[in-house]
Protein backbone atom coordinates (compact mmCIF):
# COMPACT_ATOMS: atom_id res chain seq x y z
CA UNK A 1 0.00 0.00 0.00
CA UNK A 2 2.85 2.37 0.86
CA UNK A 3 4.54 1.59 -2.44
CA UNK A 4 1.28 2.22 -4.33
CA UNK A 5 0.83 5.60 -2.63
CA UNK A 6 4.42 6.50 -3.50
CA UNK A 7 3.86 5.64 -7.17
CA UNK A 8 0.65 7.68 -7.28
CA UNK A 9 2.37 10.64 -5.63
CA UNK A 10 5.25 10.41 -8.10
CA UNK A 11 2.83 10.34 -11.03
CA UNK A 12 1.05 13.43 -9.70
CA UNK A 13 4.35 15.28 -9.34
CA UNK A 14 5.40 14.37 -12.90
CA UNK A 15 2.01 15.42 -14.29
CA UNK A 16 2.07 18.72 -12.37
CA UNK A 17 5.59 19.40 -13.64
CA UNK A 18 4.44 18.78 -17.21
CA UNK A 19 1.54 21.23 -16.77
CA UNK A 20 3.87 23.89 -15.35
CA UNK A 21 6.34 23.45 -18.20
CA UNK A 22 3.56 23.61 -20.78
CA UNK A 23 2.19 26.76 -19.12
CA UNK A 24 5.63 28.37 -19.09
CA UNK A 25 6.11 27.47 -22.76
CA UNK A 26 2.74 29.04 -23.59
CA UNK A 27 3.70 32.20 -21.68
CA UNK A 28 6.97 32.40 -23.61
CA UNK A 29 5.14 32.07 -26.92
CA UNK A 30 2.60 34.72 -25.89
CA UNK A 31 5.52 37.05 -25.23
CA UNK A 32 6.75 36.60 -28.79
CA UNK A 33 4.51 39.22 -30.40
CA UNK A 34 5.70 38.80 -33.96
CA UNK A 35 4.06 42.05 -34.96
CA UNK A 36 5.63 44.23 -32.26
CA UNK A 37 7.63 47.25 -33.31
CA UNK A 38 10.92 45.89 -31.97
CA UNK A 39 10.62 42.43 -33.48
CA UNK A 40 12.76 41.31 -36.39
CA UNK A 41 11.99 37.63 -36.23
CA UNK A 42 11.95 37.23 -39.99
CA UNK A 43 11.65 38.93 -43.33
CA UNK A 44 7.89 38.75 -42.88
CA UNK A 45 8.07 39.77 -39.22
CA UNK A 46 5.36 42.40 -39.62
CA UNK A 47 2.87 39.70 -40.63
CA UNK A 48 2.59 38.03 -37.26
CA UNK A 49 0.02 37.98 -34.50
CA UNK A 50 -1.35 41.42 -35.33
CA UNK A 51 -0.68 43.82 -38.18
CA UNK A 52 -0.82 47.53 -37.56
CA UNK A 53 0.16 50.76 -39.26
CA UNK A 54 3.86 51.62 -38.85
CA UNK A 55 6.48 53.32 -41.06
CA UNK A 56 7.16 49.81 -42.40
CA UNK A 57 3.51 48.82 -42.83
CA UNK A 58 1.22 50.85 -45.07
CA UNK A 59 -2.44 49.87 -44.92
CA UNK A 60 -5.62 50.81 -46.71
CA UNK A 61 -8.31 52.58 -44.73
CA UNK A 62 -11.09 50.37 -43.43
CA UNK A 63 -14.49 51.75 -44.39
CA UNK A 64 -17.96 50.70 -43.20
CA UNK A 65 -19.08 47.49 -44.86
CA UNK A 66 -21.95 47.78 -47.32
CA UNK A 67 -24.54 45.05 -48.05
CA UNK A 68 -22.62 44.42 -51.27
CA UNK A 69 -19.42 43.93 -49.25
CA UNK A 70 -21.16 41.41 -47.01
CA UNK A 71 -22.50 39.48 -49.98
CA UNK A 72 -19.08 39.51 -51.60
CA UNK A 73 -17.49 38.35 -48.33
CA UNK A 74 -19.84 35.38 -48.13
CA UNK A 75 -18.98 34.51 -51.72
CA UNK A 76 -15.25 34.77 -50.97
CA UNK A 77 -15.48 32.45 -47.97
CA UNK A 78 -17.58 29.88 -49.89
CA UNK A 79 -15.23 29.92 -52.87
CA UNK A 80 -12.06 29.62 -50.81
CA UNK A 81 -13.42 26.78 -48.66
CA UNK A 82 -14.55 24.95 -51.79
CA UNK A 83 -11.55 25.50 -54.04
CA UNK A 84 -8.76 25.36 -51.46
CA UNK A 85 -9.99 22.45 -49.30
CA UNK A 86 -7.70 20.07 -51.20
CA UNK A 87 -4.73 21.90 -49.68
CA UNK A 88 -5.69 20.83 -46.17
CA UNK A 89 -3.22 18.08 -47.04
CA UNK A 90 -0.07 20.19 -47.14
CA UNK A 91 1.65 17.59 -49.32
CA UNK A 92 -0.86 18.38 -52.07
CA UNK A 93 0.07 22.05 -51.73
CA UNK A 94 3.78 21.28 -52.05
CA UNK A 95 3.13 19.10 -55.09
CA UNK A 96 1.25 22.05 -56.63
CA UNK A 97 4.26 24.33 -56.21
CA UNK A 98 3.51 25.94 -52.84
CA UNK A 99 6.86 26.04 -51.04
CA UNK A 100 7.24 26.86 -47.30
CA UNK A 101 8.74 30.35 -46.87
CA UNK A 102 11.34 30.43 -44.08
CA UNK A 103 9.90 27.35 -42.30
CA UNK A 104 12.66 27.32 -39.66
CA UNK A 105 11.88 30.86 -38.46
CA UNK A 106 9.21 31.00 -35.70
CA UNK A 107 6.02 32.55 -37.08
CA UNK A 108 2.35 32.68 -36.13
CA UNK A 109 1.32 31.53 -39.60
CA UNK A 110 3.60 30.15 -42.27
CA UNK A 111 3.38 31.09 -45.93
CA UNK A 112 3.55 28.29 -48.48
CA UNK A 113 4.24 30.45 -51.51
CA UNK A 114 3.86 29.74 -55.21
CA UNK A 115 6.28 31.80 -57.29
CA UNK A 116 4.16 31.26 -60.39
CA UNK A 117 0.91 32.36 -58.77
CA UNK A 118 2.51 35.29 -56.97
CA UNK A 119 4.02 36.54 -60.23
CA UNK A 120 0.60 36.25 -61.87
CA UNK A 121 -1.02 38.25 -59.07
CA UNK A 122 1.63 40.96 -59.35
CA UNK A 123 0.75 41.11 -63.05
CA UNK A 124 -2.91 41.69 -62.17
CA UNK A 125 -4.26 38.13 -62.50
CA UNK A 126 -6.45 37.62 -59.42
CA UNK A 127 -8.12 34.26 -58.77
CA UNK A 128 -9.57 33.20 -55.40
CA UNK A 129 -8.98 29.56 -56.36
CA UNK A 130 -5.25 30.11 -56.93
CA UNK A 131 -3.77 32.38 -54.25
CA UNK A 132 -0.14 33.43 -54.25
CA UNK A 133 0.34 31.84 -50.83
CA UNK A 134 -1.44 29.37 -48.58
CA UNK A 135 -1.35 30.03 -44.83
CA UNK A 136 -0.66 27.23 -42.37
CA UNK A 137 -0.19 26.83 -38.65
CA UNK A 138 2.59 24.48 -37.59
CA UNK A 139 1.19 21.68 -35.44
CA UNK A 140 2.85 20.82 -32.15
CA UNK A 141 3.30 17.15 -32.96
CA UNK A 142 4.10 17.56 -36.65
CA UNK A 143 2.28 18.53 -39.79
CA UNK A 144 0.52 21.70 -40.88
CA UNK A 145 -3.04 23.00 -40.50
CA UNK A 146 -4.49 25.10 -43.33
CA UNK A 147 -6.09 28.29 -41.99
CA UNK A 148 -6.28 30.55 -45.02
CA UNK A 149 -4.55 32.19 -47.94
CA UNK A 150 -2.72 35.36 -48.87
CA UNK A 151 -3.55 37.22 -52.06
CA UNK A 152 -1.33 39.78 -53.79
CA UNK A 153 -1.96 42.71 -56.08
CA UNK A 154 0.34 45.03 -58.06
CA UNK A 155 2.12 47.68 -55.99
CA UNK A 156 0.60 50.29 -58.31
CA UNK A 157 -3.00 49.32 -57.56
CA UNK A 158 -5.23 52.03 -56.10
CA UNK A 159 -7.62 51.50 -53.17
CA UNK A 160 -10.47 51.43 -55.68
CA UNK A 161 -8.81 48.59 -57.58
CA UNK A 162 -8.07 46.64 -54.39
CA UNK A 163 -11.66 47.11 -53.26
CA UNK A 164 -12.87 45.27 -56.36
CA UNK A 165 -10.75 42.24 -55.45
CA UNK A 166 -11.55 41.96 -51.73
CA UNK A 167 -13.67 44.84 -50.37
CA UNK A 168 -12.11 47.46 -48.11
CA UNK A 169 -15.22 47.22 -45.95
CA UNK A 170 -14.01 43.75 -44.93
CA UNK A 171 -10.23 43.94 -44.90
CA UNK A 172 -7.26 46.27 -44.88
CA UNK A 173 -4.79 45.46 -47.63
CA UNK A 174 -1.19 46.07 -46.54
CA UNK A 175 2.20 46.75 -48.10
CA UNK A 176 5.73 46.52 -46.69
CA UNK A 177 7.29 49.96 -47.04
CA UNK A 178 10.43 51.97 -46.18
CA UNK A 179 12.70 48.94 -45.82
CA UNK A 180 16.45 49.28 -45.23
CA UNK A 181 18.50 46.20 -46.07
CA UNK A 182 22.17 45.90 -45.04
CA UNK A 183 24.94 46.00 -47.62
CA UNK A 184 25.25 42.71 -49.47
CA UNK A 185 21.62 41.71 -48.99
CA UNK A 186 19.52 41.96 -52.13
CA UNK A 187 15.82 41.96 -52.93
CA UNK A 188 16.32 38.48 -54.36
CA UNK A 189 17.61 37.31 -50.97
CA UNK A 190 14.42 38.62 -49.40
CA UNK A 191 12.21 37.00 -52.04
CA UNK A 192 14.02 33.70 -51.49
CA UNK A 193 13.75 33.98 -47.69
CA UNK A 194 17.52 33.87 -47.30
CA UNK A 195 17.73 35.42 -43.85
CA UNK A 196 21.12 33.88 -43.18
CA UNK A 197 22.76 35.42 -46.24
CA UNK A 198 25.04 37.44 -43.98
CA UNK A 199 24.87 36.02 -40.45
CA UNK A 200 26.02 38.28 -37.63
CA UNK A 201 27.75 37.40 -34.38
CA UNK A 202 24.58 37.60 -32.27
CA UNK A 203 21.34 36.03 -33.33
CA UNK A 204 19.10 37.00 -30.46
CA UNK A 205 18.26 40.20 -28.67
CA UNK A 206 17.39 40.37 -24.98
CA UNK A 207 16.61 37.69 -22.43
CA UNK A 208 13.68 36.85 -20.22
CA UNK A 209 10.01 37.48 -20.90
CA UNK A 210 9.22 38.87 -24.30
CA UNK A 211 12.70 38.28 -25.75
CA UNK A 212 12.69 38.63 -29.51
CA UNK A 213 14.79 36.26 -31.56
CA UNK A 214 16.69 37.83 -34.46
CA UNK A 215 18.21 35.78 -37.25
CA UNK A 216 21.02 36.33 -39.73
CA UNK A 217 21.25 39.85 -41.08
CA UNK A 218 18.08 40.72 -39.15
CA UNK A 219 20.07 40.28 -35.92
CA UNK A 220 20.96 43.94 -36.41
CA UNK A 221 17.80 45.77 -35.21
CA UNK A 222 18.41 48.67 -37.60
CA UNK A 223 17.50 46.60 -40.65
CA UNK A 224 14.53 44.74 -42.01
CA UNK A 225 10.76 44.90 -41.96
CA UNK A 226 10.56 46.17 -38.40
CA UNK A 227 13.98 47.83 -38.20
CA UNK A 228 14.63 51.17 -36.54
CA UNK A 229 15.67 52.71 -39.87
CA UNK A 230 12.71 53.82 -41.97
CA UNK A 231 14.08 56.57 -44.21
CA UNK A 232 16.48 56.59 -47.14
CA UNK A 233 19.01 59.07 -45.74
CA UNK A 234 19.57 57.06 -42.55
CA UNK A 235 19.80 53.85 -44.57
CA UNK A 236 22.43 55.26 -46.95
CA UNK A 237 24.37 56.64 -43.99
CA UNK A 238 24.96 53.13 -42.62
CA UNK A 239 25.75 51.67 -46.04
CA UNK A 240 22.41 49.95 -46.52
CA UNK A 241 20.13 49.82 -49.55
CA UNK A 242 16.70 51.43 -49.20
CA UNK A 243 13.44 50.22 -50.73
CA UNK A 244 10.31 52.36 -50.68
CA UNK A 245 8.24 49.19 -51.06
CA UNK A 246 9.04 45.47 -51.16
CA UNK A 247 6.47 43.07 -52.63
CA UNK A 248 3.07 44.32 -53.81
CA UNK A 249 -0.18 44.78 -51.92
CA UNK A 250 -1.19 41.80 -49.77
CA UNK A 251 -4.18 40.58 -47.81
CA UNK A 252 -4.81 37.59 -45.53
CA UNK A 253 -8.13 35.74 -45.40
CA UNK A 254 -8.75 32.91 -42.89
CA UNK A 255 -11.90 30.96 -43.92
CA UNK A 256 -10.51 27.68 -42.58
CA UNK A 257 -10.08 29.19 -39.14
CA UNK A 258 -13.72 30.28 -39.03
CA UNK A 259 -16.66 31.30 -41.20
CA UNK A 260 -17.23 34.23 -38.84
CA UNK A 261 -16.38 37.42 -40.71
CA UNK A 262 -14.58 38.83 -37.66
CA UNK A 263 -12.14 35.91 -37.81
CA UNK A 264 -12.01 35.16 -41.53
CA UNK A 265 -11.20 38.78 -42.42
CA UNK A 266 -9.33 39.65 -39.22
CA UNK A 267 -6.00 41.48 -38.96
CA UNK A 268 -5.05 38.94 -36.28
CA UNK A 269 -3.58 35.54 -37.05
CA UNK A 270 -5.96 32.77 -35.87
Asked if the model's pLDDT at residue 122 lies above 90, the reply is yes
Number of residues assigned to the chain: 270
pLDDT at 13 (0 to 100) = 37
231 backbone φψ class: left, alpha, beta (φ>0; ψ -120 to 50): beta
CB 132 within 8 A of CB 150: yes
Query: Per DSSP, which regions of the chain are E strands?
Result: 57-59, 99-100, 110-113, 133-138, 144-153, 174-181, 204-205, 212-213, 241-253
Lowest mean pLDDT among 82-86, 161-165, 265-269: 265-269
What contacts 42, CB < 8 A, 6 or more positions away?
A: 34, 102, 105, 106, 107, 195, 215, 218
pLDDT at 258 (0 to 100) = 85
Where residue 47 falls among pLDDT bands split at 50, 70, 90? very low
Amino acid sequence: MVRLRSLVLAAIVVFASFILLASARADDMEGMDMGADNSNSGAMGGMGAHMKMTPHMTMTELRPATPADTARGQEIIRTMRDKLAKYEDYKVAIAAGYVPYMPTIPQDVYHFASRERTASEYAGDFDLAEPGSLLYEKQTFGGWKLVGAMYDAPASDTPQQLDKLIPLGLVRWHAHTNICLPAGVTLQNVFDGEVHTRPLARDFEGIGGGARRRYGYLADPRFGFTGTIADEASCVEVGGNFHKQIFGWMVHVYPFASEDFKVAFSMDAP
